[in-house]
Structure 1
Amino acid sequence: MQKHLLLSLLLLTGVTFTHAQVQPVYKDKPYLQDFSIKYYADTTQSSLKQVASDRNGIIQMLAKEGLRHTSAGQFLYPGKVVPDRNYRYMKDKNISAIISYQDQLVYLTDQVVFSNAWAGTLFSKHSLPNAKLFAGGKDFAFLISDGASLELIKDSKSLWNGKLPDDSVIGLAFQGNANQFWILGNKSVYKVGVQDKRLTKVLSGTDFTAFDIASKESKIVIGTVDGYISLDIPTGKQTGSMNRKLPATKITAVKEVNGKVWFGSDMGAFALRADGKFDYYFGERWLPGNAVIDIAKGPKNSVLVLSTKGLGQIQFKSMTLEEKAKHFDQQVRLRHIRNGFNSQLTGLTHGDLSTGFTEDSDNDGLWTAMYLGGQIFRYAATKDPDALQNCRESMDAMERLFTVNPVAGFPARSFERSGHINELHDIERWQHSPEKEWDWKATTSSDEVIGHIFAFGAAAELVDDPKIKKQAIMLIDTVMSHIVKNNMYLIDYDGKPTQWGKWHPDYVNSFPTNVGDRKLNSSNIVAMLQTAYHFTKKEKYKAKAFELMNKHGYYENMMRPMSIIGRAPEDADEHAKHMSDGWNHSDDEMYFLGYWGLYRYALNDTLKASYKKQIIDHWQAERPEKEGAWNIFTAVTGTKDFDLNESVWYLREHPMDLIDWVIKNSHRKDIEKLEPNFRKQTTKEVLPPDERPVQRHNGNMFNLDRTGGNGSGEHSAGDIWLLPYWMGRYLGIISAPQK
């Protein structure tokens, strides 16, 4: 969630233009990738209050019941908040607050300020038995408060006592460059100098909740129940008005960490970016609970966000995109391979990865084709033998879709061991295989077929393994022969076309010209026929492609601009109306997968130039989504402009945690919402991937919320992230890691 202004991304991240290469290239240098390690508290035994850490990396929390620390915990495998018994002789201390002072843990009790650092020599007495707040100044001077009174102490000596005239104390902070303490009340801000010991009122207000000194000690940021304000320290005046354009306005904590101001709220945490916008950390992707109590600097460039339900340690790790790819490759191989397919992990109990199972899908062939495509590009770019072996295994799974069922040339949606179908509610789709103990899923869709042809074409072209090349060409020929022989239909076990496997003119041209399916099916079938001709050289494929384009208007259908695509007219049939009730993002996925073969294997240069215009026209419509995959597919045409910055943004900002946690953004006041529209674009600007629900490329990137099944499944990075990254590497628009 380390956001970068897209306008300056060229400079910040090393996108360069060279004379030798027309297209821009992203130089893969390390960036800061954020992810969270969570520690859950037993809320029946710990009412958490504060968090702090020291130079040794020790994280300690204060609960009403005593000190707590973290147990176990790593990325995706949460730890616990447990009682801290390390210093057993502290058990009798009535600790009321904890801070990090000079990078050491320091405690406040009803009698003293003390620490186990400095050989235990810090033991400074005070006279406020109900003390609950303190802040450290220079040379072990501390300002202490019980909410009503204030006392400045050093070496057990009381240097000053005082009270706010008409307010209660709720926060303390020290400004080092002026050697003075700042005091936050419910409705006022005061300061007191260590030297002059003069209490001065600086600001009046209402409903203050938290504050901190920020911007190299030049301003104070003050949270309220309805936004935040800033106080300029040199002038002592408020700068600007109340800022309410926030992810959440009820501020519960304010803390500057590593030069960035962080806010806690009743709806998660957020950090102020240099561009004035916010990085939002909501839900269990980041935090055990959303009611934030405290924020503190953590070990190794991390930020500690304490909530009522535990601790979220948000870490910022330097990594390259290739290192992120290695992490995601392991994620896929460990948890998302089923019978060679790229599968979803589902049935999780609250994000516990050990409780899940890989699930068959209507689109096993499609998701696997997209993962396979990524591995093909990976192998083409690196010659990595692991990538080649991944290709072999996925190719074998794809081939078995054709052999597990008895229909010649027909790819099943999926297959599974017999008995499995008894657990399923869609038994009609499942058929018994001629292979004993196996069942296969029927009703294969057009999005399956375009996925197959995309991956097989890429394999036939780019993998220098003779067996895979031969296998890929055979499978292209197998399915396309079936379609051509059956009059441009995909014929199922019952002798009838499947619901969506229809490319015959009677079906395609039955749609009004402004309904997307007419354009989509035309584009897909021409791409598939071209791919088949390119690799088999069988004239029937070339002839059929020209017949559809010239005789049946498929070329005209394809070249129709995206700007006219919309709802079917009133006099259209119900099917056309149903198919055009809004923008279909699955169609986008089918288009762009098809563009590989449409452009790459064009039948002549004239068509290739036309296809380029078609692809770029579509991409222009997609640009608001900043969809990394569609941008990089567009780069196949060689165009200079395909939003490389946004593509890199997509790859960087994609969360490492791909679990389906509850996500909420619709309440936010820092986003500009749009009226309902055909494209289903909810906001003026798309949110970063790590702030929105995890979804495949056939989802709407403008989805704001995910409300059901918290932690119930984990997505595979195979199709979501690895495909666009490795395609970018193969095309040369993303470099190998740079020193």
Structure 2
Amino acid sequence: MKYLQSKLLILVGLLLGLSEVHAQQLPSSSKRTHQDVPFVQEYSIKYYSDEQSADLEKVFADRNGTVQILGSKGLFRTHAGAFLYPGSFTPDKTYLAMKDKNVSSIATVEDQFVYLDDKAVFSNAWAGTLYLKHELPGAKHFAHGEDFTFLVSNGSSIHLVNQEGILYKGKISGSPVIGISYDMATGRYLLLAENKVMAFSADSKKLQTLTEGSGFTSFVVREGKNKLAVATTDGYFEWDLFADKKVGAKNNALPLPSLTSLTEINGLLWFGSERGAFMQKEDGGFNYYFGERWLPGDKVFHISQKNEDEVLILTDKGLGKLVFMSQTLAEKASFYSKQVRDRHIRHGFNATLVQMEKGNVNSGRIKDSDNDGLWTSMYLGGEAFRYAATGSADALQNVKESLDAMERLYTINDIEGFPARSFSRSGFKDQLGGSVHWQDASDPEWVWKATTSSDEVIGHVFVFGVIAELVDNEALRQQAIGLLDQLMTHIVENDWYLIDFDGKHTTWGRWNPEYVNGFPTMVGDRKLNSSNIVAMLQTAYHFTGKEIFKKEAYKLMDKHGYLENLMRPMEGIGKAKEGSDDWAAMLSESWNHSDDEMYFLGYWGLYRYAFTDELKEKYKETILDHWEAERPEKDGLWNIFGALVDRENFDLEEAVWYLQEYPLDMISWDVKNSHRKDIELLEANFRNQATKEVLPPDELKLRRHNGNRFDLDGGNKGMEEYSAGDIWLLPYWMGRYLGVISDPASK
């Protein structure tokens, strides 16, 4: 759910009805640590309809957990269905006699199914004794009052019925009735028409109009609040059922004001709309469920509750069952770890599943990437942190396998110290990504990808340092240090360039002073490349002890101004001035989030392996300056890196929020938020920050840490599944290692 820790714990009690609410407790020391107590994790199980089950209307579940869906072609049940594995609808043939019933509406009474057809209100519960004839042709709406008394309507008439027979018959003038409810506090049936709300007293048999308007679509009695909430095509308003007057102004600052349905579940309002469903939180904000991450279709017809921890949302293309479970971050990490190992390991690389058939995780293939080395470095770093924090033998084996893949990037080509972007078996160049860059290896069975970039390099150096420092396995340490030495020797000996198979430097593998200082000071690459190369040289010196790395780092800092470059405040980064060359202009068109990723990965070596305490303090200053600029994005990894340099002043709650809010479903479903009326949009700006407050990860498209978290729309139609290895497991296990996230608490 979309809460910080305290709000999540409130929701555990309110939404799930759990008996205990655990508050976040900080340790007695001054260092801040999130106590990993259970929080509410939500996910969706989807059931898709077909032509046979067209024109869906309502969905309910009974006390046994059975789900029934009413459509124009009868009653249906859900078939199969599990998280990531959608189910379907099937005609409900449970009761033989039901096939002859022309059911027009369905409801639950005492958690049992009750039906309305053209003859009666009836049920198969209570030994089948409930059968109340209503004598109202075309009956479409009904509601239960007290003592099994029901008000039935066909839109223009109402009949009140119970076991004694028909107690009342009356006419409705004006627009037809589109809904009926019952208010136990006042003992009145409430009727909704498109242009008015009416009340009918079962005692006095009188019908009165409470309020008039237009565009009314649905309503719900707010139990215990003496209020009626009325949905319209432009927001909703509330009505005081005791004073019979409107409460406040109509609220249309909603994700989508054009409402199709409205209900209340455990004191919280749930809205259906033309574009998804949303729940109003205690703080007045909304949880928004839109797109196939949550729902089969966009238009919502009906919402109801199933058990204490499930919500049923019926759409034009099927049913979405939202499940709210209690879990710890450690349990979420275990789930993600299995996801990675099951579907996202390619030759030891951490990779993306692509070419899927609309979210079918068994239909895709594992794709090579220009950034195989980078994404694997981030996953590998997470597993190294996991091993350091837990001593897990499984984590150690994962480190070994992925480090072997990283090493082969260096050995599959003949260039000393040059890492390939990726490698693959030969014969498929036309199907591999970026096919023009693939080169034949000496072994004809294999090809390797050239043009390696600086973002791969900083990822390599980051993880080699992490392994060398934290993994107490000497063979793996020496393997990492050896690769680090080879890489940095290549860069130093080639005048601060990555030299490719053709003897030329790659497009992005350039740290040479002439190149770096050729940029105006406001172009981010001047600061970035300076920061990265100093971090890389410090890391290499720290673990190899070779003076050349230290000597060259100081030369870059003192003679070529790299220390000044890397210390330049982030507020000075912006568009290149008019008259700058095309390359500088292109690199400074807008804020580059891939640069953020490179900066922060480099900060591990920049700060951790600083040559002196004086430099360390300077690095701390520039890291915190960058972190401050990134705070609005609430990226979990950047906030955990903030803890690396300042344990007392980093956004712990926001880091936990990110980890808790990330969807279990890592599929690239399309999302859209730009239409929402409940968010504050900003004017176009250099950072491409679209909204004042960033939306939760589970309402946004899936993206890695190098993506803009303020992008409101996007996705890839469910054709890809991202790996949690770099997106989630790295910040979580880094947080565990740094001690800002605790071991899981006992339940």
* TM-score (normalizing by structure 2): 0.96
Would you say 1:125 and 2:124 are equivalent positions? Answer: no
Would you say 1:110 and 2:152 are equivalent positions? Answer: no
Q: Say if 1:262 and 1:272, in contact at 8 Å, map to a contact too.
A: yes
Name the structure 2 match of 1:434: 442
Q: Say if 2:186 and 2:241, in contact at 8 Å, map to a contact too.
A: no
After superposition, what is the alpha-carbon deviation per residue over 1:5-37, rounded to whole angstroms, capped at 9, x for unaligned? 5786799874444442x3321111111111100
Name the structure 2 match of 1:604: 612
CA RMSD of aligned residues (A): 1.5
Name the structure 1 match of 2:2: 3
Name the structure 2 match of 1:722: 729
Q: Distance in 2 between matches of 1:394 and 1:158?
A: 75
Name the structure 2 match of 1:512: 520
Would you say 1:202 and 2:201 are equivalent positions? Answer: no
Q: 5+ unaligned residues in a row in structure 1: which ranges?
A: none
Q: Distance in 2 between matches of 1:691 and 1:466?
A: 44
Name the structure 2 match of 1:150: 158
Q: Distance in 2 between matches of 1:690 and 1:486?
A: 45
Name the structure 1 match of 2:378: 370
Q: Say if 1:628 and 1:646, in contact at 8 Å, map to a contact too.
A: yes
Name the structure 1 match of 2:669: 661
Q: Which region of structure 1 is more displaced relative to structure 2, 86-95 or 234-243? A: 234-243
1:628 maps to amino acid: G
1:290 maps to amino acid: D
Would you say 1:344 and 2:342 are equivalent positions? Answer: no
2:401 maps to amino acid: E
Would you say 1:90 and 2:98 are equivalent positions? Answer: yes
Alignment of 1:319-338 (within 5 A): 319-338=327-346
Query: Match of 2:452, SS?
Result: coil
Alignment of 1:152-167 (within 5 A): 152-155=160-163, 157-167=165-175
Would you say 1:640 and 2:633 are equivalent positions? Answer: no
After superposition, what is the alpha-carbon deviation per residue over 1:106-142, rounded to whole angstroms, capped at 9, x for unaligned? 1111111111111111112112121111111222111
Query: Match of 2:413, SS?
Result: coil
Name the structure 2 match of 1:445: 453
Q: 1:9 to 1:159 in 2, by over 3 A?
A: closer
Q: Which region of structure 1 is more displaced relative to structure 2, 215-224 or 625-634? A: 215-224
Name the structure 2 match of 1:524: 532
Q: Distance in 1 between matches of 2:661 and 2:420?
A: 35
Post-superposition offset of 1:164:
3.1
Query: Match of 1:95, SS?
Result: coil
1:61 maps to amino acid: I
Q: Distance in 1 between matches of 2:615 and 2:223?
A: 58
Query: Match of 1:713, SS?
Result: coil
Q: Distance in 2 between matches of 1:215 and 1:340?
A: 56
Post-superposition offset of 1:156:
5.1
Q: Distance in 1 between matches of 2:5 and 2:690?
A: 21
After superposition, what is the alpha-carbon deviation per residue over 1:191-237, rounded to whole angstroms, capped at 9, x for unaligned? 22333333222111111000111252421111111111111222221
Name the structure 2 match of 1:270: 278
Post-superposition offset of 1:647:
0.8
After superposition, what is the alpha-carbon deviation per residue over 1:433-464, rounded to whole angstroms, capped at 9, x for unaligned? 11230000000000000000111111111111
Query: Match of 2:147, SS?
Result: helix
Post-superposition offset of 1:581:
0.4
Q: Distance in 2 between matches of 1:30 and 1:60?
A: 32
Alignment of 1:618-629 (within 5 A): 618-629=626-637
Q: Say if 1:106 and 1:114, in contact at 8 Å, map to a contact too.
A: yes
Post-superposition offset of 1:675:
1.0
1:664 maps to amino acid: K
Post-superposition offset of 1:425:
6.8
Query: Match of 2:362, SS?
Result: helix
* TM-score (normalizing by structure 1): 0.97
Would you say 1:100 and 2:99 are equivalent positions? Answer: no
Q: Say if 1:16 and 1:24, in contact at 8 Å, map to a contact too.
A: no
Query: Match of 1:439, SS?
Result: strand
- Name the % identity: 55
Q: Say if 2:9 and 2:39, in contact at 8 Å, map to a contact too.
A: no
Q: Distance in 2 between matches of 1:533 and 1:280?
A: 50
Post-superposition offset of 1:610:
0.8
Alignment of 1:359-508 (within 5 A): 359-424=367-432, 426-508=434-516
Name the structure 1 match of 2:257: 249
Q: Say if 1:175 and 1:217, in contact at 8 Å, map to a contact too.
A: no
Query: Match of 1:447, SS?
Result: helix
After superposition, what is the alpha-carbon deviation per residue over 1:645-672, rounded to whole angstroms, capped at 9, x for unaligned? 1111111111111111111111111111
Find 2:551's aligned residue among 543, 546, 550: 543
Q: Say if 1:13 and 1:26, in contact at 8 Å, map to a contact too.
A: no
Q: Say if 1:231 and 1:239, in contact at 8 Å, map to a contact too.
A: yes
Name the structure 2 match of 1:684: 692
Q: Say if 2:4 and 2:654, in contact at 8 Å, map to a contact too.
A: no
Q: Say if 1:531 and 1:601, in contact at 8 Å, map to a contact too.
A: yes
Name the structure 1 match of 2:18: none
Post-superposition offset of 1:428:
2.7
Q: Distance in 1 between matches of 2:60 and 2:702?
A: 32
Q: Distance in 1 between matches of 2:389 and 2:44?
A: 31
2:496 maps to amino acid: M
Name the structure 2 match of 1:35: 43
Find 1:670's aligned residue among 670, 678, 698: 678
Name the structure 2 match of 1:259: 267
Q: 5+ unaligned residues in a row in structure 2: which ranges?
A: 11-20
Q: Distance in 2 between matches of 1:503 and 1:485?
A: 12
Q: Say if 2:156 and 2:173, in contact at 8 Å, map to a contact too.
A: no
1:393 maps to amino acid: E
Name the structure 2 match of 1:220: 228
Would you say 1:299 and 2:298 are equivalent positions? Answer: no
